[in-house]
Structure 1
Amino acid sequence: MIQQSRSILLLSLLLLVVHSTSAYAARVTLDTFCSQLVGEWHGSAANPNVVPKKVSTSVMCSADKRNLYISVSRGSRFSNSETWWFRQQQEHILLLYANGVTDDISQQLTLYEQAGSYSFLGKGEINQRPALVQLQFDPVTRNDDSIAEEWQWQQSAHYLDDDSDQYQVIRAISLLKTSTAVTPPTE
């Protein structure tokens, strides 16, 4: 009986360790994610309780994959387009955000990967409130080459002056790969 209990306990501990390590996100550098998002995308963007708006998104990655540049077309939040420039700096990533309406934002982030999803996490300020910021990129579909054809980009915040223990969605953007195929003209 004692031997059986020990075996069950050891098996339970082993399963717990295996499950725990697979549940953790791994810290990664920008080059791991950069080339997966490159290209032209279309979709919609919406803040909570606001009607979604059509947007187009362009994503470029530098040759050394240490810079990721995202441009979201005008009409997503403001009449101007907005730019997100992620730049690898040793173990952290510097985000420079500009929209031409509000002051530019500079923020230090860390990038994590878990099961094909990527999260930029950092401490900053949103709506003039201190917050933990999360920029989550989740692949929705993949083609045969395991390249995502669609991503869901969710921008969330956990306000530090709030007793809640949950992140609140600030905005979500769907990214659907824009086809580059050219349709031949019909006669």
Structure 2
Amino acid sequence: MLPAASVSAAKVDLSQFCPRLDGDWVGSAAKSGSRPKQVTTAAICSSDKRNLMLTVSRGDSNPNSEVWWFRAHSGDVLLTYTDGVGADREQVFSLYQRGDSFTFLGKGQLNQRPALIRLSFEPLSSTTSAPIDNGNNDSWLWRQSAHYLDDDSQQYQLIRAIELTTVQPN
């Protein structure tokens, strides 16, 4: 018996991911080592699918809401992040798709250290043993992780994870 062929990741445009997140989401969120808290996330995909704005409600990592603005930029994705406390931060990412999962990868600074930063969005049913039944199976796990380049470790460290489950209309 031959082993199943692995699915390789392919670089994709933001337009292939943007409409999948468009809408309102709820779920728990936690930094590594912290207790989960409930958050709401609003995602707006522009009509040209070149801009995606995520607003995560306050309460998880700071007392203010966070805004993650992803926009198409010369074949890559430019992210502007603001939490209302510190200075806005910008980072260029490449976006990859593997199966139904999407991953933003970029090189930058985290905690004043050089790092490879990974923002992964995986269908929640692929991260659990049982499928999630919420009508349209639109549930994601958003993992924010980093691999510090000044560290000998070969692994990414989880910074935070956010569960995104579609808010069902009344």
Measure the CA separation in 2 of the matches of 1:117 and 1:156: 15
TM-score by length of 1: 0.82
SS at match of 2:150: coil
Shift of 1:90: 2.2
Alpha carbons of structure 1 residues 143 and 166: separation in structure 2 relative to 1, 3 Å: closer
Q: Deviations over 1:24-76 (max 9, x none)?
A: 20100000010001111011110111111110000000000000000000112
Per the alignment, residue 150 of structure 2 pairs with 161
Alpha carbons of structure 1 residues 125 and 148: separation in structure 2 relative to 1, 3 Å: farther
Tell whether 2:118 aligns with 1:129: no
Tell whether 2:155 aligns with 1:171: no
Measure the CA separation in 2 of the matches of 1:74 and 1:143: 26
Per the alignment, residue 138 of structure 2 pairs with 149
Alpha carbons of structure 1 residues 160 and 143: separation in structure 2 relative to 1, 3 Å: closer
Q: Of the two, which has the highest radius of gyration?
A: 1
TM-score by length of 2: 0.90
Contact 1:36 1:148 in 2 (8 A): no
SS at match of 1:78: coil
Alpha carbons of structure 1 residues 180 and 105: separation in structure 2 relative to 1, 3 Å: same
Measure the CA separation in 2 of the matches of 1:53 and 1:143: 20
SS at match of 1:110: strand
Pairwise CA RMSD of aligned residues?
Answer: 2.0
In structure 1, the gaps of 5 or more residues are 1-11, 182-187
Contact 2:124 2:132 in 1 (8 A): no
Per the alignment, residue 110 of structure 1 pairs with 94
Specify the code of the residue in structure 2 equivalent to 1:132. Answer: L
- Identity, % of aligned positions: 50
Contact 1:36 1:147 in 2 (8 A): no
Per the alignment, residue 53 of structure 2 pairs with 69
The structure showing larger relative contact order (alpha-carbon pairs under 8 Å, at least 6 residues apart) is 2
Alpha carbons of structure 1 residues 26 and 127: separation in structure 2 relative to 1, 3 Å: same
Specify the code of the residue in structure 1 equivalent to 2:165. Answer: L
